[in-house]
Structure 1
Amino acid sequence: MARQGRKPKGRPVSGWVILDKPKGMGSTEAVAKIKWLYFAQKAGHAGTLDPLASGMLPIALGDATKTVPYVMDGRKVYRFTVRWGAETTTDDTEGPVTRASDERPAREAVEALLADYTGEIEQVPPQFSAIKIEGERAYDLARAGETVEIASRLVQVHRLDIVDVPDGETTVFEAECGKGTYVRSIARDMGRDLGCFGHIVDLRRIAVGAFDEEDLVTLDELEDAAQEGREPLDEAAIAAGAKARVTDFRPLDDYILDPATALCDLYEVTLSDDQAGRVRSGNPVLLRGRDAPAFCDEAFATGQGRLVAIGSIEEGSFHPKRVFGGRH
């Protein structure tokens, strides 16, 4: 007799929580915290953010995890501060200094370099990075004392601007870049080109794909929302050390963005209730309307404002590939 599958633990909640990750917290730790707060069945993030960095860590709950690749492939915006005069093993403040200089660049010299770091550029990722070398993460090998050879790669930097020069020691930049770009490498390489060396002392991610700063929510805000939804405890329970459970998730769920928010670059198909039912069963539906495309490699379908499926349009019909049934 076949054993029945175990019922998933947690709520079938789906959507995006755009966490403003604090410094010192790892991405995996942040996902676990959000999953616990929401008592979610499933959670994952769209792109690691270094523990020493702060800012945007998009976290997908439930069915929204199916849209993670579309966020990871999107553009990212970083604001970062470079301190001139020293290069480190980690290209940030965590590692020891390996090279130093008394030289400091003039703003004009830094500005003259920006064009060299815009467009399609070649860069070598930092030794302390998530790049895999023969199945091992580069940062694991580096922490074990090994010097690893990391091949250079082509990355896309759409925009690189100076936003502030607070003093002669540091320059603040903003970069808009594509997947796989390391701004720590940009700081390291610019320092070498300028002959003064450099490393990042502050790094903040402020946009990923469809999400921007207006979508950010802090852990404190989420903790307050969870507290608002916790059951009241009497004095005896408090004295006994009991912990209040969250019984009303509505204050927390107010911070969840619909899974379809991640798909803003795709063509949207609006379905009737009957069409939505057919698509959820895995069936194609014929699209009507003068503006409906005959072919489209990737599109998403919504019904009553909810994400129903991701698929393609072929000969005027929408064909579902990934169907969504979660709720929040």
Structure 2
Amino acid sequence: MLIDTHGRIATDLRVSLTDRCNLRCTYCMPEEGLRWLPKPELLTDDEIVRLVSIAVSELGITEVRFTGGEPLLRPGLVSIVERCAALAPRPDLSLTTNGIGLARTTEALRTAGLDRVNVSLDTLRPEVFRTLTRRDRHHDVVSGLTAARDAGLVPVKVNSVLMRGINDDEAPHLLDWALEHDYELRFIEQMPLDAQHGWQRGHMVTAAEILEKLRARYALTPEVSSLRGSAPAERWLVDGGPARVGVIASVTRPFCRDCDRTRLTADGQVRDCLFAREESDLRTALRSGASDQDIAERWRAAMWGKKAGSGLDDPSFLQPRRPMSAIGG
């Protein structure tokens, strides 16, 4: 198992397939983009599948989520999904994407064995989408969502970040739309993971503000109980259910105590926390001929020292050196 000194066991693996992205979201990276990882530093398809296999067979991982950057930009994505779906025991396989290109790849991904998708969409207004992402691709994202739902990659989850003064008035409208199209909407508090390091707590739209806006239109009932365990989203039944809405309040209501995640970057580094400033190198061991057992032991050691929390409320908190696009969601 991947256990730490606080008794938490990691069963959920987030695998970043690339640090590249075809959007330039203002809360993630500058307009000119970033310096991408050189290709020789990226894990190959075979290396990714081997590490996922070790995680599943040796370390007790049951869920694998492919992220980026934008994972649809990875040429071998469909093959990676297919090979991971063939592992025993078979992990639950999902994908977090901005949705651009999803319409043309959904069928191939479903056939390969992908179970679910999470698609990022922060606004229903194309002009606001252009402002937030610096790209005119709103229609492509909406088309990708439709294709995923029609292909049966359900529940299709939509991730939305509200930005003060830009789209913070859209919370109830986004929920209206999600209910109409049978998507499960999750609002995410903006986190200090931007490449520019311009995040300010006072500019963040909080979970409490989001819920206040939603309750002005809907009756929200906590699902089962107010305890979310290791799930990042607190979920509410909308008008008695069965439809649900979630809020991921990583900043104001963190879930560190029950975190069950381990992360693998596109260049083969293990991260024990989204906000960690240290990483553990598996790529070098992989390319030096290390056995599966040796790699598994290195992974265990990397997770053993995981801190109790993210440290966001500590006055000495420093953002990770890598931005979200290079870490993976």
Whether TM-score is above 0.5 comes out as: no
Q: Which structure dedicates a bigger proportion of its chain to helix?
A: 2
Normalising by structure 1, report the TM-score.
Answer: 0.27
Higher relative contact order (CA 8 A, sep 6+): 2
Q: What is the TM-score when the length of structure 2 is the normalising length?
A: 0.27
Higher strand share: 1
- Structure ID, larger Rg: 1
